[in-house]
Amino acid sequence: MPAADGQEAGLKGTEQAYDEKFIHFVVLFNVDEDYFECHEVMEELWLEEGRNRMYQGLLQAAVALYHWRNGNYSGAVKLFTHAENKLSQYPDQAMGLDLRQLRADGARCLAPLHAWVEEGEKSGSQPPEFIPFRLHIVDERLMEEVAAMAQIPLEQRLHGEDTE
């Protein structure tokens, strides 16, 4: 089981430090609902951080929403399931996020999608309507950093000059 103190997830000492890519991921997920770009940003961070499983679970939750919105229901089921498997290994709150709520939101979405892929698709019924959810932020510092980054226009965040 990964370290509950968050060391694997990119913490520095006892003070929570958030990578700019992580903050951008949260903004893309919560504000822009741009799950493709979420994937791009988090994959880069995931690779930089040594393939951190929590980052991978967050990435998979975003990709599940991307697939669902684009009509790839079996892909959404697969990715929601993978995300749950990864994120279940972490405490209810980690990296400033309420992972318990994220797991609950993923399960709430997964149930009707799984049922439709298994039965509804064959019966000709309509697939479950896409209903996005947000990452619940539980750390005030992360909330402030997300709010500040959200003020930057999407195109500038995605294609602006590198600030690092």
Written as six digits, the tokens of 95 are 């990296």
Written as six digits, the tokens of 91 are 């405490």
Check residue 124 and give its pLDDT. 77
Across 12-21, 51-60, 104-113, 129-138, least confident range:
12-21
Task: Determine the number of helices (DSSP H) and then strands (DSSP E) in the chain.
Answer: 8, 2
* β strands within 1-157, DSSP E: 93-94, 97-98
Using one digit for the tens of pLDDT, what is the confidence trace for 63-110?
999 999 999 999 999 999 999 999 999 999 999 999 999 999 999 999
Cβ(105)–Cβ(133) below 8 Å:
yes
Cβ(155)–Cβ(149) below 8 Å:
no
What global pTM score does this model have? 0.86
Query: According to DSSP H, which parts of 88-139 are helical?
Result: 99-115, 121-123
- Is the confidence at residue 153, as pLDDT, over 60? yes
For residue 85, the tally of other CB atoms under 10 A from its CB is 13
